[in-house]
Structure 1
């Protein structure tokens, strides 16, 4: 028998589950670092087997917008698994504090995921596959605004077409020194 007390208890549990599922628990960073949000879009092409090259529109923090290049090296397995190292270099000028030199921000990511792909029809001059995929990227190395990156996670949703155009959207965070 469901009583009012049981319904209230069940409602509380459902509310807590929904709240927890919508909380960005992956935004937890190591001690003495802070979480900085990153979002954006990537437009690239597969240029050779296992290599992608393209552009990234990146929003860093609240509203800092950067244009970046992105180079991917890796590939897809027969089972739809994906594994890439992505290197991103942006159009900003970061002051190193050394001899008035500037550098461009860079972020290197270890990316893995899976997708659902189908062969393109034989009449397509490019051949290949088309489909959709999901990936997760973990920061490995950074320069400029990403100097001393200490973790984070960036979630990616994307698609590839028979002409090897790859479009992606991403959202996540990076962990950087400071409070």
Structure 2
């Protein structure tokens, strides 16, 4: 596969997150075509919502996630994105970590914790980006797939499920995304 345009990679790092949020990439190191299983005693449930983030600098984003899980109160979470690269140096995607405003009992020790999830997000198709007229800055739309890798609180410690994300990025580095999919919850 040929190397990505450095301006495009810089744009992706500055603006594009993902949600979450891991995406099935068209490049090497892509996420598996299959979603991660939901290990017992977890159960797979529908989730949907939106993510709003801003670029903090090259490779970092920070924002908020508002989501609805089937039969549960709405989620309100902070989300941090950290870019990663494939072994060949091409842009790989984002590792997204979210922490929510709920309080749930920990499984061990009787402590209370906040729900957290870590997910790997990759582009699922070639992004539609255009130049902002400033070198290295682009705007446009993208689609991603995000695979939860681990969790705590209401999310399974082993991850599971898959999210599908549609997003846009503007010349100021603001990223707006909508997502749907399934996640693995623990009882």
TM-score normalised to structure 1 length:
0.72
Q: Greater RCO between the two (CA within 8 Å, min separation 6)?
A: 2
Q: Is the 8 A contact 1:81 1:115 kept in 2?
A: no
Return the match for 2:133 from 82, 97, 121.
121
Deviation at 1:151, TM superposition (A): 1.4
Q: What root-mean-square deviation, in Å, do the aligned CA atoms of Structure 1 and Structure 2 show? A: 2.8
4+ runs deviating over 2 angstroms = 25-33, 97-101, 147-150, 175-178
Larger helix proportion, structure 1 or 2?
1
Return closer, same or farther for 1:92/1:174 CA change in 2, 3 Å cut-off: same
CA distance in 1, matches of 2:53, 2:68: 18
Tell me, yes or no, if structure 1 residue 67 matches structure 2 residue 76. yes
Query: Using the alignment, how far apart are the partners of 1:81 and 1:130 within structure 2?
Result: 17
Contact 1:49–1:75 (CA under 8 A) maintained in structure 2: no
SS in 1 for 2:141: strand
TM-score by length of 2: 0.69
Equivalent residues, number: 149
Q: Do structure 1's residue 166 and structure 2's residue 166 form an aligned pair?
A: no
Gaps of 5+ in 1: 1-24
Q: Which has the higher strand share?
A: 1
State which of 81, 86, 89 in structure 1 corresponds to 2:99.
89
Separation in structure 2 between the aligned mates of residue 142 and residue 30 of structure 1, nearest angstrom: 12
Counterparts of 1:74 and 1:127, CA distance in 2:
16
Alpha carbons 1:50, 1:74 under 8 Å: kept: yes
Alpha-carbon contact 2:156-2:184 (below 8 Å) kept: no
Unaligned ranges ≥5, structure 2? 1-33
Aligned in 2, Cα 1:67/1:109: closer, same or farther, shift over 3 Å? same
